């Protein structure tokens, strides 16, 4: 007798063991809060596909607590306020047990008040600016100390960069990240006049003046490097303008935090070869686990589909959630949250991810060099680095710690020994 028949019999009789105590209702519902239309669809649709693959794989293993898992997909359409509305729909109307979703920080911050009001639980898979720790969010992407700071260190120590151009799209992630990086660079002895900061809107296309300003920084013979938090299609115009100005990666290297395999897929990478990206995972990682993951993805989605860093974050987060639910014996958010602390799961690059008391993971930091085929040659990889919710490089943040199981607080002020209410700042 197959598993589906057993579940059906249990429902007919009144309850399975999981249903008997009222903590689980079949099917277990997983909310998917990713844009399937609009400017961010190119990145987020892949993450929707990833969650659906993970759900199918878990159902093939027997589901969860005797129940089938069902993916409930909504489309917030790259409309930041709509993330709040769709999060409420998933929790209140659909009754999901967990949400996997969001990409930009403004979309996450839009959904956050709803998650906290309704005590929902969301796994957020994308690198971000830190400066946040909610009991209702597990941050499986990189904090600044797991991406941005190591990338700057690579520029300083390996490439001898002396002047920095911090170029970003105009929203909360680039602005906060660059605020941290400016402070860090000054601590490292880089003068304020050797740091150029510029922000452009989503979809910006006219890069001639900005690239000209960057090139001008190198005219005194000192090495210039670009730290890029440029998002979306604007990257295409930026790299093309660098090439038009005959600037190669050897002349002025660029390290990007938002350009991965998905963004490079289908593009002519001629203008990008040799430039860098900093992530915690690349498809080119040479491990058996990654080989299996990539093969499974391509068998499901097609040979032309690539894997990327936020996909691995969902892979880790989903499997940790499954293990936490199994350990707790329920999908109840409070019980699952407690079971999440200390969860371990192998990552795809050869190490082990651990969920910390501040709702962040331990993650390795990888620097990859863009190759002609749109992949990355991994040229640097660290051991696992614990994610830091509050940076040590801003005075107001340096005195804050996040410890949910110990202090019951995500924003504990070590000087006043008080728990501060987190304020949204998007």
Same-domain status, 251 and 275: yes
Q: Coil, helix or strand for 206? A: coil
Mean pLDDT across the stretch 63-84? 97
H helical segments located in 61-103: 80-88
pLDDT tens digit string along 396-414?
A: 999 999 999 999 999 999 9
Mean pLDDT across the stretch 45-65? 98
Q: How many domains does the chain have?
A: 2
Residue 71 lies in a domain: yes
What pLDDT is attached to residue 424?
A: 43
Residue 358 lies in a domain: yes
Same-domain status, 307 and 276: no
Helix/strand/coil percentages in the chain, nearest 5: 40, 20, 40
Q: Coil, helix or strand for 286? A: coil
Same-domain status, 103 and 28: yes
Same-domain status, 63 and 97: yes
Tell me the whole-structure pTM to 2 decimals. Answer: 0.90
Same-domain status, 194 and 83: no
CATH number of the domain within which 115 lies: 3.40.50.2300
Which residue, 348, 363, 378, sits at the end of a domain? 363
Same-domain status, 138 and 149: no
Distance CA 48, CA 186 (A): 40
Residue 410 lies in a domain: no
Q: Cβ contacts of residue 288 below 8 Å, gap of 6+?
A: none
CB 231 within 8 A of CB 201: no
pLDDT tens digit string along 157-196?
A: 999 999 999 999 999 999 999 999 999 999 999 999 999 9
Distance CA 305, CA 170 (A): 29
| Residue-number span of the structural domain to which 200 is assigned | 145-286+368-386
Residue 324 lies in a domain: yes
pLDDT tens digit string along 365-403?
A: 999 999 999 999 999 999 999 999 999 999 999 999 999
Distance CA 333, CA 331 (A): 6
């Amino acid at each position: 007798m197959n598993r589906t028949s057993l579940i059906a019999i249990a429902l007919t009789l009144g309850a399975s063991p999981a249903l008997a105590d009222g903590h689980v209702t079949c099917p277990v519902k997983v909310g998917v809060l990713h844009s399937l239309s609009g400017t961010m669809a190119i990145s987020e649709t892949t993450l929707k596909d990833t969650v659906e693959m993970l759900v199918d794989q878990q159902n093939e293993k027997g589901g969860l607590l005797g129940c089938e898992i069902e993916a409930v997909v909504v489309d917030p359409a790259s409309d930041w306020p709509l993330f709040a509305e769709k999060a409420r729909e998933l929790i209140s109307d659909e009754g999901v047990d967990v949400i996997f979703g969001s990409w930009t920080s403004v979309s996450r911050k839009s959904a956050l008040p709803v998650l906290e009001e309704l005590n929902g639980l969301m796994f957020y898979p994308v690198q971000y600016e830190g400066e946040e720790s909610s009991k209702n969010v597990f941050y499986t992407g990189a904090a600044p100390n797991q991406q941005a700071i190591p990338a700057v260190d690579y520029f300083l120590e390996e490439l001898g960069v002396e002047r920095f151009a911090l170029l970003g799209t105009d929203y909360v992630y680039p602005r906060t990240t660059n605020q941290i990086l400016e402070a860090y660079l000054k601590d490292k002895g880089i003068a304020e006049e050797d740091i150029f900061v510029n922000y452009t809107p989503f979809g910006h296309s006219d890069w001639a003046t900005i690239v000209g300003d960057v090139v001008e920084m190198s005219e005194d013979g000192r090495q210039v490097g670009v730290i890029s938090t440029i998002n979306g299609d604007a990257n295409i115009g930026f790299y093309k303008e660098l090439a038009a100005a005959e600037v190669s990666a050897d002349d002025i290297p660029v390290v990007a935090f938002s350009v991965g395999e998905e963004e490079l897929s289908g593009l002519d990478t001629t203008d990008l070869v040799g430039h860098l990206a900093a992530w915690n995972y690349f498809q080119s990682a040479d491990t058996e686990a990654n080989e299996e993951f990539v093969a499974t993805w391509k068998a499901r989605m097609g040979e032309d589909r690539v894997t990327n860093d936020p996909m691995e974050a969902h892979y880790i987060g989903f499997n940790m959630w499954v293990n936490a639910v199994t350990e707790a014996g329920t999908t109840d958010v409070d019980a699952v949250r407690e079971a999440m602390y200390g969860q371990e799961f192998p990552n795809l690059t050869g190490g082990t991810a651990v969920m910390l008391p501040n709702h962040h993971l331990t993650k390795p930091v990888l620097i990859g060099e863009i190759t002609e085929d749109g992949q990355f040659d991994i040229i640097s990889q660290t051991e696992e680095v614990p994610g830091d919710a509050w940076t040590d490089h801003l005075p107001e943040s340096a005195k804050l710690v996040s410890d949910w199981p110990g202090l019951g607080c995500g924003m504990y002020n070590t000087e006043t020994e008080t728990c501060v209410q987190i304020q949204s700042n998007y």
